């Protein structure tokens, strides 16, 4: 058996205590030094960033001050353009009435919405009526281009969006009206294939004419046009003639 360790003397215990205290003191000093160095590094970095930000702000202020006359000139020009555009839009009311112009006024939103509602919900009686309404719609859009141009000149984005909205709505209705009148003509095709008395007599004299063909044409071709639109409808209805034999 190894010999038992002897009990430490009072002097040994005091020396060990002093040694631990010294080690703790040294460790505390090292930690304090580390924290002080870290704090100094943060201070130096923050000071560097502060100076860079001050420099950036100073340069930005100098740039804005240099551009201030140009910005004021641009602002003045925009205001003058806005005033001139507003004056240009002012028209004597009698001129419109004296001209007997039935076209809805694109300057008046109520006129446009009324036209859109009546046209969209109404039914065109003929393909010519449909084209005439589409042409009226296109004329409104063309006049609206002047409003759009003024809005661009005055950087009025809200007015530009307003013009685009109504332009798209009017064009959408035009396309729908083409489909609706075509569907109507297909449904009531008999209205377009009835022969006149003269046509019946001429067809009866033809040797190749079949019994019952005298009342109906073999095909129909309907067309109409305006300044900006053309509509054509062609249908071969020879099968319809056979059905009426």
Tell me the pLDDT tens digit for each residue of 167-210. Answer: 999 999 999 999 999 999 888 888 787 776 676 677 666 655 55
Q: How far apart are CA 128 and CA 140, in angstroms?
A: 19
Assign 94 a pLDDT band (cuts: 50, 70, 90): very low
- How many Å apart are CA 202 and CA 209, to the nearest integer? 10
Domain boundaries defined on the chain = 94-187, 190-245
C-alpha to C-alpha distance for 40 and 25, rounded to whole angstroms: 22
Neighbours of 151 (CB within 10 A): 19
Is the overall model pTM greater than 0.85, yes or no?
no
């Amino acid at each position: 058996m190894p010999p038992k360790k002897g009990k430490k003397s009072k002097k040994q215990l005091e020396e060990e205590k002093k040694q631990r205290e010294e080690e703790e003191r040294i460790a505390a000093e090292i930690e304090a030094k580390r924290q002080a160095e870290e704090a100094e590094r943060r201070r130096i970095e923050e000071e560097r960033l502060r100076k860079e930000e001050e420099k950036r702000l100073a340069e930005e202020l100098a740039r804005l001050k240099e551009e201030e006359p140009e910005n004021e000139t641009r602002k003045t020009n925009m205001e003058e353009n806005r005033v001139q555009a507003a004056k240009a839009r002012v028209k004597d009311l009698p001129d419109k009435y004296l001209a007997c112009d039935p076209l809805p006024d694109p300057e008046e939103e109520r006129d446009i919405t009324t036209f859109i509602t009546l046209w969209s919900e109404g039914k065109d009686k003929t393909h010519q009526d449909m084209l005439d309404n589409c042409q009226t719609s296109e004329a409104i859009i063309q006049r609206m281009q002047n409003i759009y141009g003024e809005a661009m000149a005055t950087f009025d984005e809200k007015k530009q969006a307003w013009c685009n909205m109504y332009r798209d709505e009017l064009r959408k209705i035009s396309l729908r009206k083409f489909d609706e009148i075509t569907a109507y003509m297909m449904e009531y095709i008999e209205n377009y294939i009835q022969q006149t008395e003269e046509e019946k007599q001429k067809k009866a004299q033809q040797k190749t004419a079949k019994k019952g063909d005298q009342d109906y044409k073999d095909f129909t071709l309907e067309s109409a046009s305006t300044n900006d639109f053309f509509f054509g409808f062609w249908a071969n209805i020879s099968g319809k003639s056979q059905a009426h034999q």
